[in-house]
């Protein structure tokens, strides 16, 4: 039996060029995965306060309601469009900061396939009708209820906004007072894809 020196053992254990390439490839793949995860986290907007019930990357729960104009409001009917679904209320000050922007976006991006939908969590529809007229909302608004809140994981604080892609998948969720630029950036990202 030949004696094996420590140098030989080290030389045999040292990876050859192929092993180096494989290691490099694996590291790069790992780095890319990390970057993708980071990008996904950033793209998801502010994280849900109750992350366990976050609906991001899940199919948007379907619902049918009658809007304030007495028309049928069926989320499923907007498949093929990008939907901005906003839960709001007349008593919610941050909601009313956001809504003029939603009106502007509906006007600007509507032809590109955006549909804003408002769901009011008010107790009194009369107050909602009044504010809808005052803010000149150019998108459908329906009254919410406990069942709808439950469908969306429990809406226990406002505002809450979801961005739903053309395939009916929720791509972003914004809870609380949010930087509107974050919503707009996500919206502009979703609009071109068909």
Tokens at 125, concatenated: 């529809």
The 3-22 contact track toward another protein, x by CB under 8 A, reads -----------------x--
- Contacts to another protein from residues 101-140, by CB under 8 A: 121-123
User: Residue 110: CB partners within 8 Å, gap ≥ 6?
Assistant: none
Residue 28 makes contact with another protein by CB under 8 A: yes
Q: Of the candidates 125, 149, 188, 191, which one interacts with another protein according to CB under 8 A?
A: 149
Tokens at 46, concatenated: 């502010």
CB 94 within 8 A of CB 159: yes
Q: Of the candidates 113, 177, 188, 189, which one interacts with another protein according to CB under 8 A?
A: 177
- Contacts to another protein from residues 76-105, by CB under 8 A: 89, 91-94
CB of 112 to another protein, least distance (A): 27
Q: Of the candidates 22, 41, 64, 104, which one interacts with another protein according to CB under 8 A?
A: 41
142 beta partners: 67, 119
β 72-74/82-88 pair status: unpaired
CB of 80 to another protein, least distance (A): 30
Closest CA to 164 of 63, 88, 37: 63
Distance between CA atoms of residues 82 and 87, nearest Å: 16
- Contacts to another protein from residues 51-70, by CB under 8 A: 51-52
């Amino acid at each position: 039996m030949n004696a094996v020196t420590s140098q030989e053992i080290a030389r045999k254990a040292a990876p050859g060029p192929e092993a180096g390439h494989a290691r490099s490839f694996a590291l790069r793949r790992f780095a890319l995965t990390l970057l993708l995860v980071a990008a996904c986290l950033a793209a998801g907007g502010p994280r849900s306060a109750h992350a366990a019930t976050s609906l991001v990357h899940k199919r948007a729960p379907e619902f049918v309601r009658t809007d304030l104009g007495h028309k049928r409001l069926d989320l499923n009917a907007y498949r093929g469009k990008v939907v901005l679904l906003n839960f709001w209320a007349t008593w919610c000050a941050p909601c009313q900061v956001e809504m003029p922007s939603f009106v502007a976006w509906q006007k600007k991006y509507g032809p590109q396939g955006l549909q804003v939908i408002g769901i009011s969590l008010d107790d009194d529809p009369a107050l909602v009708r009044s504010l809808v007229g005052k803010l000149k909302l150019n998108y459908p608004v329906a009254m919410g209820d406990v069942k709808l809140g439950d469908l969306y994981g429990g809406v226990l604080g406002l505002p809450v906004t979801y961005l739903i892609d053309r395939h009916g998948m929720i791509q972003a969720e914004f809870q609380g007072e949010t930087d509107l630029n974050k919503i707009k950036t996500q919206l502009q990202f979703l609009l071109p894809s068909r």
